[in-house]
Amino acid sequence: MAGVKLKNVYKKYESAHGGVMAVNDFNLDIEDKEFLILVGPSGCGKTTTLRMIAGLEEITAGEVYIGDKLINDVQPKDRDIAMVFQNYALYPHMTVFDNMAFGLKLRKTPKHEIKKKVYEAARILEIEHLLDRKPKALSGGQRQRVALGRAIVREPKVFLMDEPLSNLDAKLRVQMRVEITRLHQKLKTTIIYVTHDQTEAMTMGTRIVVMKDGFIQQVDSPQVLYEKPVNVFVGGFMGSPPMNFVKTTVKKDGKGVSLNFGEVEGSALKNRAQAVEAKAIKPSAIYLPAERGAKLEELGYVDKEVIMGIRPENIEDEPHYQEQYPDAVVEGIVDVKEALGAESYLYVKISDVDFTARVDPSNKFKPDDEVLLVFDPTRVHVFDGKTEKILPV
């Protein structure tokens, strides 16, 4: 077992116009036995990073260590890692035992050792009873476990997994998420896992790296990433349904500092101004708690534009919140209601801006209903309007 360290790692794909930087100044210490997730949209550089660790992609600059050993020039097969990919295929004519033993046979591992390793991996994966079966006699989940078994028998220092669940149906994916998490607990080894699915990232990782355009945006535990995103991108990427964002103007009056949206300034928005005038669109204001408001004022944001972010579950419909936060109540019109059983999503228009609220399924709202909602002012995220970075308020 070993940790992995990436120091100032860059990956540039050469092209006529000088090249495309797929990974930019990537610095990360992955601890031994950690389950680290690389997540981000397509083309963000997560797979390239994983492939550089594996040695399947050349590093343009920087250093990669496994344990204390610099592995930049070590052949992939000698890096003591195992990879699990998305498009796995079991050898159809071989038994589960032979499928798991195949890689070891290629490496000329002695027979008695192969047997020991395969049985041990089968025990961990709870597939001992399937060792004599052929792949066609296995369920989807069992096949996936065999595929993992092929990596486990190598007893690598680090497992690298590149979207291994992407090809599975939704139900099996959920099942395998749990299986892989359990496997990590049993194996007590380092796993680096690439996914574009934020739910996978949130549920499986002990730490998550959010990437965009080859840059690390934020590295932290799932909970911290969710609760304290460092910028609009991370806030929007992590969480489903995603965080609501709206551009607001910071104002200060006798009641305190507020975030205002649905207001109209300037002649370019004349029609909208008329709509506001005709009360077709009502401006909304969220007053921040005194301490947060003071910090925002201190930072010089009064009368400036900021981006307000609020998670669906922090938009409240219960009346007691209106009493608790009377200065954070907004009026909205229900567009769509999605009942999911344990919870409901309300898609509402507030000051002509679309918001998603997660509410109790027992509420009786229906489309076109006018609703009073509370934006929990203690949970509102405030980002700089230009840099889109979180403000320390």
Partner 1 sequence: MQSYQDLVHEVIDIIDHEIGVVDPDGTVLACSDTGKIGSSLPDTFIDHILKNTEDCFIIDQHTFRKVYSGQKINVFTYICSDSETAKKMLDLFSVSVSHYYQFCLSRLDRASFFRSIIMENLSEHEIVYRARELRIPVEIPRMVFLISVAGADDNACMSVLKNMFPDRVHSSMFKINASNYLLVRTIKEADRKKGVADIAHMVKDNVSSELMVDTRVSIGTESASLLDLKKSYQNAVIADITGRIFEGKEKVADYNKLGIGRLIYKLPEESCRIFLEEVFPGGSYKTFDEEMFKTIEGLFECNFNISKAAEVLFVHRNSVIYRIQKIQKITGLDVRNFNDAVIFKIASLVSKYLSYIDKQKECRI
Chain residues that interact with partner 1, rule: CB under 8 A? 13-22, 41, 48, 51, 54-57, 75-77, 79, 81-89, 91-94, 102-103, 106, 150-151, 212-213, 233, 386, 388
Q: How far is the CB of 222 from partner 1 (least distance, A)?
A: 21
Q: How far is the CB of 388 from partner 1 (least distance, A)?
A: 8
Three-state secondary-structure class, residue 349? strand
- Kindly give the interhelix angle for 140-152 and 170-187, rounded to the nearest 10 degrees: 30
Q: How far is the CB of 136 from partner 1 (least distance, A)?
A: 12
Taking alpha carbons only, the member of 159, 179, 154 closest to residue 168 is 179
- Contact between residue 138 and residue 130 where contact means Cβ atoms under 8 Å apart: yes
9 CB neighbour count, 10 Å cutoff: 23
Q: How far is the CB of 106 from partner 1 (least distance, A)?
A: 5
Q: How far is the CB of 328 from partner 1 (least distance, A)?
A: 27
Q: How far is the CB of 266 from partner 1 (least distance, A)?
A: 16
Taking alpha carbons only, the member of 136, 139, 141, 152 closest to residue 177 is 141
Residue type, 60: T
b/e code 212-235 from CB counts within 10 Å (16+ = b): bebbbbbbbebeebbeebbbbbbb
Three-state secondary-structure class, residue 203? helix
Q: How far is the CB of 228 from partner 1 (least distance, A)?
A: 19
How far is 105 from 153, CA to CA, in rounded Å?
A: 11
For the chain, what is the radius of gyration of the CA atoms? Answer: 26
- Kindly give the interhelix angle for 140-152 and 96-106, rounded to the nearest 10 degrees: 30
Q: Which is nearer to partner 1, 168 or 373 (CB)?
A: 168
56 CB neighbour count, 10 Å cutoff: 14
Q: Which is nearer to partner 1, 167 or 363 (CB)?
A: 167
Residue that is written with structure tokens 């709206």 in the block: 246
